Structure 1
Amino acid sequence: MIKTESLAIDQTQLVKAWSDAMPTVLNLSDRVEVKADEADANALWVNIQTEGRSLYSFDFKCVYKDSREVKVEFIDVEQDGVHVNEQTEIIQTLIEDYVRHIHECAQQLHAVTHH
Structure 2
Amino acid sequence: MMSSNDELSVPREDLAEAWQQTLPERLSGGDKAEVLADEADPRTLRVNIKTAGHQMLEFDFAVQYVDAREIDIQLTDVEKDGQSVDERTDIMQELIVDYRRHLHETAQALHHYTHP
Same structural fold, with TM-score higher than 0.5 when normalized by the shorter chain: yes
Within the alignment, does 1:55 sit opposite 2:56 as a pair?
A: yes
The corresponding residue for 2:12 is 11
The corresponding residue for 1:46 is 47
Say if 2:29 and 2:52, in contact at 8 Å, map to a contact too: no
Within the alignment, does 1:83 sit opposite 2:100 as a pair?
A: no
SS of the residue corresponding to residue 87 of structure 1 reads coil
Higher share of residues assigned helix: 2
The corresponding residue for 2:112 is 111
The corresponding residue for 1:100 is 101
Distance 1:22 1:60 in 2: 13
Distance 1:11 1:103 in 2: 18
Alpha-carbon distance, 1:3 to partner: 4.9
Alpha-carbon distance, 1:8 to partner: 2.9
Structure 1: where are the runs of 5+ without partners? Answer: none
Distance 1:76 1:3 in 2: 30
Amino acid across the alignment from 1:95? I
Alpha-carbon distance, 1:53 to partner: 1.4
Alpha-carbon distance, 1:85 to partner: 0.8
Say if 2:8 and 2:114, in contact at 8 Å, map to a contact too: yes
Say if 1:18 and 1:34, in contact at 8 Å, map to a contact too: yes
SS of the residue corresponding to residue 53 of structure 2 reads coil
Aligned length: 114
Amino acid across the alignment from 2:64? V
CA RMSD of aligned residues (A): 1.3
Say if 2:2 and 2:67, in contact at 8 Å, map to a contact too: no
The one-character-per-residue Cα deviations of 1:39-98 (angstroms, maximum 9, x if unpaired) are 110100000000211110000000000101100011110001011111111101000000
Structure 1 residue runs of 4+, over 6 Å off?
none
Within the alignment, does 1:73 sit opposite 2:53 as a pair?
A: no
